[in-house]
Amino acid sequence: MISSREEVTRMILSAKVSKGIKWSQVTQATGLSKEWSTAACLGQMTLDKPQAEAVGKLFGLSDEAITWLQIVPYKGSLPTAVPTDPLIYRWYEMVNVYGTTIKELIHEEFGDGIMSAIDFKMDIQRQADPNGDRVNVVLSGKYLPYKTY
């Protein structure tokens, strides 16, 4: 018996390693972006039944695990402490260093509001560079103004 969505994530990661599955294969199975598909497999998004079944077939998951993929997860995958994984820490560092700059520039351009992480798109690509390949990340979220009442 599966008792949490985190157990299903562990099953997916274990099958990914043992079967040599790439996230691009999950994208082909779900018909969703690699970013969304990966987030769903890591327990941060909800899949509909056909998408969950496609993921289940790819990873060899049980019907119970497939059902868990359709349940709205508790979002937020990072611990409350400073992350220790070097790649995740660099994102944490970027927000610490540039967060107030991003906030200022968004407010100056749009006004008092936020960038949505719900109405949101992300694209991660490799960018060739003679000085060493670069990671190109594009984040695009809908602007949501605060309302007065």
3-state percent helix, strand, coil for the chain, nearest multiple of 5: 50, 20, 35
Is-catalytic flag, 90?
A: yes
Of 4, 14, 116, 140, catalytic: 116
Output the pTM of the full model: 0.78
Q: pLDDT (tens digit, 9 = 90+) per residue, 39-93?
A: 999 999 999 999 999 999 999 999 999 999 999 988 887 777 888 889 989 998 9
Angle between helices 49-59 and 34-41 (to 10 degrees): 80
Q: pLDDT (tens digit, 9 = 90+) per residue, 102-126?
A: 898 899 999 999 999 999 999 999 9
Please count the CA atoms within 13 angstroms of the CA of 107 that sit on its side-chain side.
Answer: 8
One-letter amino acid of 112: D
User: What is the chain's Cα-based Rg?
Assistant: 18
Of 4, 18, 24, 93, catalytic: 93
Is-catalytic flag, 33?
A: no
